[in-house]
Amino acid sequence: MRSSLLTVAAPMGMTLATPVPQHIDFAMVEAAPDPVTTGPPVGVTAQSVAYDASTAIVAATQAVASQSVAISDAANAPKVKRTACQAQPAGATGAPAYASDSPSAFLANAGFSDAASAASTPAGYTQSFQNLKASNNAYGYMGFTTLENYDSELCASKCSAINGCMAFNLYFEHNPSVEPGASCEDPPSVTMIKCVFWGGPVSTENAVNSGQYRDNFQVVIAGSNGYTNNSIAPIPGNAAINAPYDSQGCNTYMGSTIFSTGPFDASLCAAYCSAQSKYNVEHPPSDGSPVKTCQFFNTYLLYVNDLSHTQGQYCAIYSEAWDSSYATNVGQYCGSDHYLIGLSYTYTNVTNPGLTSGDKTCAVAQASVEISYSSLQPYCSTLLGFAANTVTASTTITSTFTSTVVSQATTTIANILSRKEATSQCI
């Protein structure tokens, strides 16, 4: 697993039992910035988005010392000021020609369809879709390049060379030969072949960009193929772990966090898991209850309403391992929004998977706390008020985990609210 950005939520000295502890933390989701899923700009031939794991982990380690979850929005690409009628990049030399220079003729050109249909599936990748007239707005934009020929093998090799690239989208794009403006509103076109890199899966569900207008010039897309690295599960599903108390009655759930920048990277969750363990060991509960350490986690992409609206990479951690039969959370409603789960993986610490027959010590301590809390809390809250303790830490630790694929979501539901509006309607 790669090392990457580490963002740790407030450590927990004690977790009180709740009926369904693994429900999505909508307040946390609201606090995180919306991921930037912008695709490649028109009018340039390449764009790079660097994912520096070593730099990210240093910054993330510093963020552990804050109670709040420190997550930064991905930087927006700087706007390019263009002069009207200024020459734009030349088209691909190997693009199939077509007779009439119009968007409709471009979309109907059989040469684009033939190239997309004939393209090979590169080794190590699975074809997600073929010959669409739209490009992807997926999770974790990693930049793009332009090619002279429609070459899926070349595009794959470029993706494989980029740290964090998990998928790519290859397509023809109808672009203006000069910058459209007052005296050149609908200029002659050129055909670009774009190879776009993503840090999450590409699918028909997030292939939603069918083009745009630049003045009176219509940008359209054809022959769009998507390929996802085989390290990402190609078979769809839609479930996350929803663990009960263990066989002794211990609540093994330890908390969650969300990441909303960069590519999908399970090592983010591994780092969160390890850092929480180290903190708990170094700061044992003052009431003498046993220390919980993270031995298992479930990480997945969280969507709202459809697979083109990613909320981020969610991470839930546990003190014991749970198998896929407990992957029963297929999403939740918050107001009129439906939150969906996809690209779900579980990881177990191979050096210490946790207890396999339940944690009796934890269960006894937990029951004692719950009895005390149930008996005294109403009186104390009324008489004195109640304020939860706040603790912070700055630590790192490394563990070794093995993974199991759980699922990748496919459900599509309409009626989208903003994240803040949706969360305000949650129970």
Domain boundaries, the chain: 26-72+235-424, 103-229
* Position 219 confidence tier, pLDDT thresholds 50, 70, 90: very high
* Position 259 confidence tier, pLDDT thresholds 50, 70, 90: confident
* Position 155 confidence tier, pLDDT thresholds 50, 70, 90: very high
- Residue-level pLDDT at 74: 28
- Residue-level pLDDT at 277: 85
| Cβ-based neighbour number of residue 118 at 10 Å | 9
Q: What is the mean pLDDT of residues 300-313?
A: 89
Q: Is the pLDDT of residue 376 over 50?
A: no
Q: What is the mean pLDDT of residues 39-65?
A: 56
Q: What is the pLDDT of residues 273-291, one digit of tens each?
A: 888 888 888 888 887 788 8
Could you tell me which residue, 86 or 358, shows the higher pLDDT?
86
Could you tell me which residue, 264 or 398, shows the higher pLDDT?
264
Specify the amino acid at residue 294: C
Residue 382: half-sphere exposure toward Cβ, Cα within 13 Å? 4
Q: Is the pLDDT of residue 94 over 60?
A: yes
* Position 323 confidence tier, pLDDT thresholds 50, 70, 90: confident
| CA–CA separation, 206 and 249 (whole Å) | 42
Q: Which residue has the tokens 């993503």?
A: 198
Q: Is the pLDDT of residue 175 over 80?
A: yes
Q: How far apart are the first and last CA of the chain?
A: 37
- Residue-level pLDDT at 324: 85
Q: What is the CA radius of gyration of the chain?
A: 25
Q: Are 341 and 409 in contact (CB under 8 A)?
A: yes
Q: Are 7 and 66 in contact (CB under 8 A)?
A: no
Q: Is the pLDDT of residue 5 over 70?
A: no
- Residue-level pLDDT at 239: 87
Helix/strand/coil (H, E, C) string of the chain? CCCCCCCCCCCCCCCCCCCCCCCCCHHHHHHCCCCCCCCCCCCCCEEECCCCHHHHHHHHHHHCCCCCCCCCCCCCCCCCCCCCCCECCCCCCCCCCCCCCCHHHHHHCHHHHHHHHHCCCCCCEEEEEEEECCECCCCCEEEEEEECCCCHHHHHHHHHCCCCCCEEEEEEEEEECECCECCECCCCEEEEEEEEEECCCCCCCCCCECEEEECCEEEEEEEEEEEEECCCCCCCCCCECCCCCCCCCCCCEEEEEEECCCCCCHHHHHHHHHHHHHHHHHCCCCCCCCCCCCCEEEEEEEEECEEEEEEEEEEEEECCCCCHHHCCECCEEECCEEEEEEEEEEEEECCCCCCCCCCHHHHHHHHHHHHHHHHHHHHHHHHHCCCCCCCCCCCCCCCCEEEEEEECCCCCCCCCCCHHHHHHCCC
* Position 355 confidence tier, pLDDT thresholds 50, 70, 90: low
Could you tell me which residue, 198 or 236, shows the higher pLDDT?
198
Q: What is the pLDDT of residues 245-256, one digit of tens each?
A: 888 888 899 888
Q: Is the pLDDT of residue 419 over 50?
A: no
* Position 51 confidence tier, pLDDT thresholds 50, 70, 90: low
| CA–CA separation, 262 and 73 (whole Å) | 9
Residues in the chain: 427
